[in-house]
């Protein structure tokens, strides 16, 4: 589809004949289309809160000028929208950074159980506020893996926050760390961190697209809960950088399980 054929005569000093060049542009065109779609999505995501804010500013200048109650309500909404834009810009920068670093293997060693205990401690209060109990299994061991500590915090924070947010009806979220003696996709042993919620679950048809940028099962709900639709895309790139795997399984009505499998050692390549 993207083939480009050029025929040029050979220079006289080389001889008779022609040079036929066939260029396959399909990969480049696909990448260009993906980039265009992304820019269109970003513009739309930024414009939604902006349009709302502009609307409220106009109302505050006009009909609601002397209505103190309306002013407070509108200012609250505008603050929420501005915060949402802020989160979106923050996640876009994060995504761009992790994409840029994806080819560079992490060089540090990470205390994985300690890192997970830290993330659970950070999220303890917000889970409690939502009526969710955080449970941990297998985190009381010594284990150091190759990894980027800040990025791995981001991975588990995103996944546990999602489990609290979307699995709230299940009232508990379980984080389990265990060794996988042989993980075929990693060509060796690995460590699996499973984040399991017992909430509403995800319809099977959505699972393959869940880590796409801005893909949401329910856009309205994600937005209402302050989501940017970029969390799982960021997770995917970070896991790729660690040469790991992200496995998602879910049953509607029973809950979801997001498992990050990290290799015990990073092989070359």
Strands 109-111 and 3-9, how do they pair? Answer: unpaired
Assess 256 for contact with ligand ADP (CB under 6 A): yes
Q: Which of 160, 228, 241, 242 binds ligand ADP (CB under 6 A)?
A: 228
- Euclidean distance between CA atoms 86 and 1, whole angstroms: 40
Q: Which of 232, 238, 260, 262 binds ligand ADP (CB under 6 A)?
A: 232
Do 121 and 153 contact (CB within 8 A), yes or no? Answer: no
Least distance to ligand ADP from the beta carbon of 32, Å?
24
Helices (H), the chain: 26-61, 68-101, 112-129, 149-166, 219-224, 231-241
Closest CA to 152 of 183, 125, 177, 184: 177
Least distance to ligand ADP from the beta carbon of 139, Å?
20
Q: Which of 94, 151, 154, 222 binds ligand ADP (CB under 6 A)?
A: 222
Q: Is 10 helix (H, G, I), strand (E, B) or coil?
A: coil
- Euclidean distance between CA atoms 117 and 112, whole angstroms: 9
- Euclidean distance between CA atoms 215 and 237, whole angstroms: 15
CB nearer ligand ADP, residue 74 or residue 198:
198
CB nearer ligand ADP, residue 16 or residue 220:
220
Length reported for the chain: 269
Do 149 and 108 contact (CB within 8 A), yes or no? Answer: yes
CB nearer ligand ADP, residue 106 or residue 229:
229
CB nearer ligand ADP, residue 170 or residue 263:
170
Assess 151 for contact with ligand ADP (CB under 6 A): no
Pattern 79-118, binding to ligand ADP, x per CB under 6 A? Answer: ----------------------------------------
Least distance to ligand ADP from the beta carbon of 56, Å?
23
Q: Which of 210, 238, 261, 262 binds ligand ADP (CB under 6 A)?
A: 210
CB nearer ligand ADP, residue 190 or residue 231:
231
């Amino acid at each position: 589809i993207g083939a480009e054929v050029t025929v040029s005569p050979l220079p006289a000093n080389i001889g008779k004949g022609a040079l036929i060049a066939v260029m396959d542009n399909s990969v480049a065109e696909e990448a260009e289309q993906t980039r265009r779609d992304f820019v269109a999505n970003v513009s739309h995501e930024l414009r939604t809160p902006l349009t709302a804010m502009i609307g409220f500013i106009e109302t505050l200048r006009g009909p609601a000028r002397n209505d103190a109650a309306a002013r407070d309500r509108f200012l609250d909404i505008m603050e929420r929208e501005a915060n949402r834009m802020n989160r979106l810009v923050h996640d876009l920068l994060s995504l761009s950074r992790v994409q840029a670093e994806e080819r560079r293997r992490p060089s540090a060693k990470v205390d994985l159980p300690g890192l997970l205990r830290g993330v659970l401690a950070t999220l303890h209060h917000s889970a409690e506020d939502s009526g969710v109990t955080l449970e941990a299994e297998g985190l009381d061991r010594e284990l150091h893996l190759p990894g980027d500590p800040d990025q791995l915090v981001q991975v588990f924070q995103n996944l546990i926050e999602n489990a609290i947010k979307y699995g709230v009806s299940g009232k508990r979220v379980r984080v389990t760390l265990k060794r996988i003696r042989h993980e075929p996709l990693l060509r060796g042993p690995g460590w699996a961190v499973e984040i399991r919620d017992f909430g509403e679950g995800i319809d099977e048809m959505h699972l393959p697209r869940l880590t796409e940028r801005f893909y949401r099962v329910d856009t309205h709900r994600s937005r209402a809960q302050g989501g940017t639709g970029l969390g799982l895309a960021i997770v995917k790139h970070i896991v790729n950088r660690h040469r790991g795997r992200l496995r998602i399984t879910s049953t509607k009505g029973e809950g979801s399980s997001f498992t990050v499998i990290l290799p015990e050692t990073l092989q070359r390549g």
